Amino acid sequence: MMRSTAHSEEFIRLNFPRLAAALEYMPVGVTIVDRDLSIRFWNPAFCQVQGFPDGVMYPGVTMADVFRFIALRGDYGPGDIEELVAARVELCMKFTPHSFMRTMANGLKLNIIGRPIYGADGGINGFVTIYHDVTAEKRHEEELEAKNEELLKANEQAHAASLAKGHFLSNMSHEIRTPLNCVIGMAYLALKTDLDPRQRDYLEKIRFAGEHLLGLIDNILDISKIEAGKMDVQNVEFCLDYVMETLTTVVAPQAASRNLKLVFDLDPALPKLLVGDPLRLGQVLINYTNNAIKFSQEGTVEIRVRKEVASPSTCLLRFEVKDQGVGLSSAEMAKLFVSFQQADTSTTREYGGTGLGLAICKELAQLMGGDVGVNSQPGVGSTFWFTAELRTPPNAAPALIDQLSFAASELLERGPARHARELEAVRILLAEDNTFNQQIAQEILEEEGARVCVASNGVEALELLRHSEFDCVLMDLQMPQMDGLEATRRIRASPHLARLPVLAMTATATTEARMRCIDAGMNDFISKPVQPALMCQIIANWLPQRALQTAPRKDESHAPSVDPAFGGDPAVIDLSVLAALFGNDPHSVRKFAIKFLQSARDGVGEMEAALVRGEVELLRQLGHRIKSAARTVGAFGMADLCHELELLPREEASVELASARRIVIQLRKLLEKVALEALHGSNCAVGDGG
């Protein structure tokens, strides 16, 4: 070690002139000091980074002299100059390695690194220090940090905006679906009454337009979720037969109305049980099949499923929908599967559509590990296909194609306006807080022969289940006092109710809502507005055999239909809204107007009681409950006030209560005006029609 050090020292002594010449041109400052802190060497860069004028550095200058100059110009901050110098000299005399950052008075930042110099005897002979101006580097780092902070904030804002968009879309879906459920449901019920041809034509068009609007809402909601990266697929065990039966239930009436034949061709080797997302599979198949029916005038629509690739645990299935319709050219096919694109601009005028459906199909297929495509020839027809990668649970059996074909042919034979009364004498508990949704579901089910008992919330539903037996429960999600999810959890916790079918009914038709239903223990999911045939089919699928009984069909009577002039101020109540729902039947308009008034008076009374108790959250819930009914009857002024109450900002208790009191007072005054207008208008209508 001693020999090596001595050799290095000799090398440095002999070569120092060369080393000094190199250090002269280095871009970093360098100083070499001896044991008594005399500066034996410095380069121009040292004076430059320190900002020293001529004369500061001279032969024999010491570190104490340098420290004093720096202290006098204020780089070390306030304090006695000699004390500041002495403190730094004391640190230097320790000759310990150091590395630190110093910011000078002019803003420059220096990175200072020092190391001791050892002699041949191993002792410290001096110290070498490097001074690196890192001002630009630090400024760049700070700019990068600021940019990163901006990007982080922007990302957080984008995430918050995405969440807000998701919540908004979910809420809007619920808000639109609730009145739309009333429109479609009431049109369905009205079509079952005695109508003249013109009235039936009007109602068919109302129902068709309502179902078309529902499809648009679903597409917009789905494409928005896909763009936000929020669309997920489930991995649940399901039966492919069930997906095909649902497809048949939905599309068979439309195919029958156009005299088209549905044909199913399923690979006999298909597993009966699969693991994947049956909802999304059905969504793509329904979209493809509806398009095939829409663009076909005659012939058949064939649904074909094949197993392309399989392993012990997975399989790639190929789904095809073949029609004998108008067909597509190569140029038209190139425009498919892109958002808001149609094969031809004339397509929208002749057949309708937004171009969203196929884009959603492509995204869903890719989410399921597959792809989409089309083969077509103008005037011959088209074959739309997609693939999906699914898992296979152990012991999966072949599908029962014969049963499926039989079910399809049965539905086709019934036609669009007829379906089997599968719910005769079935005991159904309907848990629903909205008065009008209660009536729609109850009348649809009773038309099928079911016996329906209604509960307005989860608490009432549980109480009825304790004292009566039911074959099935239809459970709304958003209800006061106890929502449908909590009520279902309590049902599942009860041993004697554990096997009772519980089916969700909600206007919030999102994947997240469906997963919450399944997690709570619900068996299946019916979205509102309900499709009567599909709702009855889903209920029948979950009923035990003992519930499927037959009973004599009850006699039906219908109120006479008249055509009086309805109207009114929408800010109070516009009775033409109710008239449109009930085919201008004045007796139904009066019945529902009175029913709404009773419900609204009870609701406003509950609001006033809640005000006295200071229960603002209950007031928000009551606002939600009354709002939907008010919109349905045309009391839009009341609906707007209830909406304002439901969305009351969360502030200090006294501020919230004052805002709520103002709204409730307005509601009470407006309710009296609504009562006068509704009763007067409906009485006149009945008198004119009688």
CATH number of domain containing 38: 3.30.450.20
Counting the structural domains of the chain, the total is 3
Final residue of a domain: which of 133, 157, 185? 133
CATH number of domain containing 248: 3.30.565.10
**Closest among 604, 682, 594 to 645, alpha carbons compared:** 604
For the segment 239-257, the average pLDDT, to the nearest whole number, is 79
Residue type, 243: V
- Within-domain flag for 165: no
Statement to judge: residues 118 and 247 lie in one domain:
no
Neighbours of 657 (CB within 10 A): 18
Given pLDDT bands bounded at 50, 70 and 90, which one contains residue 352?
Answer: very low
pLDDT at 680 > cutoff 50: yes
* Percent of the chain predicted with pLDDT > 70: 76
Final residue of a domain: which of 98, 133, 168? 133
Measured between alpha carbons, how far is 281 from 274 in angstroms, rounded to an integer?
12
- Within-domain flag for 561: no
Statement to judge: residues 113 and 252 lie in one domain:
no
pLDDT at 1 > cutoff 50: no
Q: What pLDDT sits at residue 419?
A: 42
pLDDT at 8 > cutoff 50: no
Candidate ranges 6-20, 288-302, 517-531; pick with highest mean pLDDT: 288-302
pLDDT greater at residue 472 or residue 563:
472
Statement to judge: residues 257 and 383 lie in one domain:
yes
Candidate ranges 51-55, 168-172, 173-177, 355-359; pick with highest mean pLDDT: 51-55
**What is the domain range of residue 266?**
232-416
pLDDT at 354 > cutoff 50: no
Which residues, at least 6 apart from 327, have a Cβ–Cβ distance to it below 8 Å? Answer: 376, 377, 378, 379, 380, 381, 382
On whether the CB atoms of residues 117 and 127 are closer than 8 A, the answer is yes
Give the tens place of pLDDT for each residue, 577-589: 667 555 566 776 7
Statement to judge: residues 239 and 129 lie in one domain:
no
Given pLDDT bands bounded at 50, 70 and 90, which one contains residue 415?
Answer: very low
Give the predicted TM-score (pTM) of the model.
0.38
DSSP 601-665: HHHHHHHHHHHHHT-HHHHHHHHHHHHHHHHHHT-HHHHHHHHHHHT-----HHHHHHHHHHHHH
pLDDT at 592 > cutoff 90: no
- Within-domain flag for 198: no
- Within-domain flag for 359: yes
Final residue of a domain: which of 77, 111, 133? 133
Measured between alpha carbons, how far is 612 from 380 in angstroms, rounded to an integer?
72
- Within-domain flag for 17: yes
- Within-domain flag for 210: no
Integer CA distances (angstroms), 24 to 21, 31, 63, in order: 5, 11, 20
pLDDT at 149 > cutoff 80: yes
- Within-domain flag for 128: yes
Statement to judge: residues 282 and 401 lie in one domain:
yes
Statement to judge: residues 388 and 279 lie in one domain:
yes
Give the tens place of pLDDT for each residue, 274-302: 888 887 888 889 889 988 998 888 889 99
For the segment 365-387, the average pLDDT, to the nearest whole number, is 91
Statement to judge: residues 100 and 240 lie in one domain:
no
- Within-domain flag for 369: yes
For the segment 162-184, the average pLDDT, to the nearest whole number, is 69
pLDDT at 558 > cutoff 60: no
pLDDT at 439 > cutoff 60: yes
pLDDT at 206 > cutoff 70: yes
Q: What pLDDT sits at residue 318?
A: 94
Give the tens place of pLDDT for each residue, 90-105: 888 888 888 888 888 7
